[in-house]
Structure 1
Amino acid sequence: MTRQPPSPLDPTVTDRIRGLVQPDWLHTTRTRRIAAALLVLLAAAAALRPDPAGQRSPTLIATRDLAPGAALGPDDVRVVYQITGSRPDGALDDPAAVLGATPGGAIRRGEVLTDVRLLGSRLAAAGAGPDARMVPIRLSDGAVADLIRAGDVVDVLAARDDTDGPAPRVLAADAVVVLIPPAPAQAGADGRIVLVALPAAAAQLVATASLTDALTVTMH
């Protein structure tokens, strides 16, 4: 008895599964052309899309440990290229722009140099607000400078050098210590200089008082 081929009106189970997995429209020329066009568009988009890992920007880093108060030289910094998204805010990128600048605190080898790590208006503003000024004060007791660090918050006090003068008074509160230069090499130097950031009016008051009064600070 000869076996008859299955009728299209009565498909087998295999034919039904094949029809679900591979429908007839999948094999049409038009469908294939659309699929090819989509692949071309995807490839073009991938080629034009910037690679986040490839976006790098010039960045200044310290080539050695830098001490506060020491002017930067050409061998103290170098340019590296870092991923743009990983750079800290205010990162510097021009070696010529920082030559002679003074770090406001110790900077480690390999650390990124930013605008608030070097003495300038940005550093003062970060410590005492947008109208801040930096003012140097000579401490009457130089040993006090060894007890404070850059970033400390202090109050500035003044007293007359003569015993008959008025009682000590607070000239400015909440001054931010910006820089403490190294102690003078020569023995017997008068006091120690400390640079603090204050709002403009308070900075002017402290600068004026420093001409006649002995100054010191109290620490928060």
Structure 2
Amino acid sequence: MPQRHARLDSTMLDRLLVRPGWTRTVLVRRSTAGALAFLAAVLFVRDAAATDRVPIVVAARDLAPGRPLQPEDVRIAGYEPGTVPNGVITDIDDATTHTVAGPIRAGEPLTDVRLLTPRLAGAALGSADGRIVPVRLTDAAVTDLLREGDIVDVLTVQADGDGGEQSARILTTDSVVVLISEKDARQRSSDRVVLVAMSPEDATAVAAASLVSSLTVTFH
């Protein structure tokens, strides 16, 4: 009978199969132990990374502007430290004291400039001393055309002298619309409120004029 020679190109499986049974058992045990040790290391690293995540408040559903936040609207999610946005809200109780200033998608982090907070006016104007003024426009159709983020001038009319003639008066320029109240079938269209960010001086003039005069805006 011709003698069988070991193939020079034999695979690891071939070599394992020609070993005695006890040798194969030891190798299998060692391989299994090595695989389990590697898996344990991977799980440890993953759990450590998860532990290092920063808990922040995110939207639990799509949110519309003008909506006062409720506990069911938000949830806590873990973010890696390097991906946490500036001004993010980290406490659900804090989030539910505010109103949504613009559309927010489910899963989106809630920050101070996406909610009606003191920092929203400053962020909109690029100035730390910004103010937000509620304005009811005379023409409800103009209110329907406005969108959050629009740059507008606020105007009123004033009497010229004793003749009773009236002319336009610009109260503020380059102001930013931050929120428009939603339409409600139970109220008149003219009751909708537009929140506009502007400087403290202009805010005083606009607020005073809104008590006695009709207001409108022009778009940039």
TM-score between both structures, scaled by the size of structure 2: 0.72
Tell me the matched-pair count.
Answer: 169
The 5 A counterparts of 1:87-106 are 87-106=84-103
Q: CA offsets per residue over residues 74-96 of structure 1, 9 Å max, x none? A: 10000011101111111111000
Q: Percent identity?
A: 47
- What is the rounded CA distance, in whole Å, between the counterparts of 1:195 and 1:120 in structure 2? 12
Q: CA offsets per residue over residues 188-209 of structure 1, 9 Å max, x none? A: 4435310001010000000000
The aligned residue for residue 178 of structure 1 is 178
Q: Secondary structure at the match of 1:112?
A: coil
Q: How far did residue 52 of structure 1 move?
A: 6.9
Asked if 2 retains the 8 angstrom alpha-carbon contact of 1:54 and 1:83, the reply is no
Q: How far did residue 185 of structure 1 move?
A: 2.0
Return the match for 1:132 from 127, 130, 133. 130
Q: CA offsets per residue over residues 34-84 of structure 1, 9 Å max, x none? A: xxxxxxxxxxxxxxxxx7775311111100011111100010000011101
Asked if 2 retains the 8 angstrom alpha-carbon contact of 1:104 and 1:178, the reply is yes
Q: Which runs of 5+ in 1 are unaligned?
A: 1-50
- What is the rounded CA distance, in whole Å, between the counterparts of 2:165 and 2:70 in structure 1? 46
Q: How far did residue 154 of structure 1 move?
A: 0.4
Q: How far did residue 160 of structure 1 move?
A: 5.2
Q: CA offsets per residue over residues 167-201 of structure 1, 9 Å max, x none? A: 01111001110100112322544353100010100
Q: Secondary structure at the match of 1:116?
A: coil
The 5 A counterparts of 1:9-20 are none
The aligned residue for residue 145 of structure 1 is 143
The aligned residue for residue 67 of structure 1 is 64
The aligned residue for residue 154 of structure 1 is 152
The aligned residue for residue 112 of structure 1 is 109
Q: Which runs of 5+ in 2 are unaligned?
A: 1-47
- What is the rounded CA distance, in whole Å, between the counterparts of 2:188 and 2:111 in structure 1? 36
Return the match for 1:121 from 118, 122, 126. 118
